Structure 1
């Protein structure tokens, strides 16, 4: 099993084409099917990867002994700056994940309220299980492949899986299943966001402002074409990744979290003004972006949270100073009451 036979660029193009095909033809239904399939694949594959890691690399106790002897800083108590950084990341990801586009999309796509509640009752605890297993695999990997650089460490799971897959047929097919699920999860998430973007272009922009009399079929076509253009731009970025996966992951949430005041405050406060929301979102995104690009850090707290603080302040103060029409207030009351 080898993970370097196909170039990064060729892989990007191949999976973008797959995403466009099933997103264009199947829409949200196709995303739901791929989510189900990749969920089972990931669950089975990641647990077998953990079992293989324990068998062939010695498990967590062996890694702990290694770190105690050669990297004691990894098991030491973090300083105040480290604690602030981790707490800020937890807050950043916790709030950002709650307003993730594909998560919200699934709320509106649910067949009924009962189906939605049943789904969330299972989803609530699954991240702790899956992320916990991956965390243990990462700890074991410290001993399995010591001394990796920051860039090389992002290939750790692939390196461990390649070694385990070469041991016997069971683990070979399990690792194929695992990485098939990983790829499906990435493509599925990207496709969900692409569908959301296409819907915004076709309904909110084209349908409301450019051509209000357009048929549903024409608006759908415009949205799909806009999605293809957006994917073309993103391919150029993905062709030469601007940073490590971890940095891209954090940057995504630093920007994504800026929409949270509009969603969270809007659910419980009918005086929230749309202009204040837009101004706050714009200011928060600008602050987070500038701090990230320039590498600025204050108190070792994620730049997205400083942007969110400014964002939230503008939303609240701006809404208190602006008046809301009776029609808008009634509409807000209807949404909040639901």
Structure 2
């Protein structure tokens, strides 16, 4: 609750610039902390050879080649996360807030390889944790990094403060990501909903105030949901991308096709979201492929076919040409 309050304060006062500063600080803390966790895990738990020997003896299925449905499931997850992460609304908003094109290119150059480094380190820690804390069930396994960090922190003062820095960075990362989404959500409410349909004559200050107040109300609702989580972190993670991926046709096709019709986009997005949600809650996964991708396929078909049959006015087509630079 304390960190949520801090998030609301600096988001209310500082906007996207404050998020950029916190991202920088938490990124440094996370990078240092996660590497110290890896070093401590190798020193005190034996590293990858020990984990491999344990799995060979007690859990050989973890070293086996996945079957066909398993490969399809993992490949669909890669597609789901790859496409979904590329259309994060708050990430797109950050593109427009960059100081210059040079700064943006330099940022993306680093972002292209950095996730492999940071996520790869955590992956290795997780492999080591199989031998360090065997026999965990699904819920307990989601606490593995915390358990390993706690064990490493108890060894000496250096690792203790490194783990404090790590979890401070984790909390800051969660808060800054949530704040980016909150700012984007508030902007959608203030400009696209309230300013366009509810009160078009409202001043800019009033629209911003309405967006912030609605954002605060949304945070309160989400805190209640987080306090009583409806599923595991992994399931929530997948569900997020299954819904988020439905905006991909609007953003990706909209960049390259000036005939894309807004009504077809909305119909496809709505249909894909409803279809993916139903399949998720009904636990329907044909061929082992996540429901979000099936929803995206239907979404894409509606967008393309609907845009081909719906006419676009000359003014709309000219505006699209100016936006996408064709």
TM-score tier by shorter-chain length is: over 0.9
Partner of 1:262: 250
Partner of 2:234: 246
Q: Distance in 2 between matches of 1:119 and 1:297?
A: 37
Q: Distance in 2 between matches of 1:207 and 1:252?
A: 27
| Partner-residue secondary structure (3-state), 1:271 | coil
- Where do 5+ consecutive residues of structure 1 fail to align? 1-12
Identify the match of residue 58 of structure 1 among 14, 37, 46.
46
Q: How many residues are matched?
A: 326
Partner of 1:6: none
Identify the match of residue 298 of structure 2 among 310, 313, 332.
310
Q: Distance in 1 between matches of 2:37 and 2:249?
A: 39
Q: Distance in 2 between matches of 1:104 and 1:304?
A: 21
Partner of 1:147: 135
1:207: how far off?
1.1
Partner of 1:191: 179
Q: Distance in 1 between matches of 2:271 and 2:114?
A: 35
Partner of 1:83: 71
Q: Distance in 1 between matches of 2:94 and 2:44?
A: 39
1:15: how far off?
2.2
1:102: how far off?
2.1
Q: Distance in 1 between matches of 2:172 and 2:272?
A: 32
1:215-266 Cα deviation digits (max 9, x unpaired):
1111111111010111111112111000000000000000000000000000
1:295: how far off?
1.1
Q: Distance in 2 between matches of 1:337 and 1:236?
A: 44
Partner of 2:271: 283
Partner of 1:176: 164
Partner of 1:123: 111
Q: Distance in 2 between matches of 1:23 and 1:132?
A: 31
Q: Distance in 1 between matches of 2:18 and 2:67?
A: 47
Q: Distance in 2 between matches of 1:333 and 1:281?
A: 23
Partner of 1:335: 323
Partner of 2:213: 225
1:93: how far off?
0.2
Identify the match of residue 159 of structure 1 among 147, 154, 168.
147
Shifted more, 201-210 versus 146-155: the winner is: 201-210
Q: Distance in 1 between matches of 2:6 and 2:283?
A: 36
Q: Distance in 1 between matches of 2:311 and 2:78?
A: 35
Q: Distance in 1 between matches of 2:98 and 2:216?
A: 26
Q: Distance in 1 between matches of 2:268 and 2:294?
A: 12
TM normalised by structure 2 equals 0.99
1:46: how far off?
0.4
RMSD over aligned Cα atoms: 0.8
The alignment status of 1:95 with 2:83, answered yes or no, reads yes
1:14: how far off?
2.3
Partner of 1:29: 17
1:83: how far off?
0.1
| Partner-residue secondary structure (3-state), 2:288 | coil
Partner of 1:111: 99
Q: Distance in 2 between matches of 1:174 and 1:104?
A: 33
- Where do 5+ consecutive residues of structure 2 fail to align? none
1:130-160 Cα deviation digits (max 9, x unpaired):
0110110000000000000000000000000
1:211: how far off?
1.5
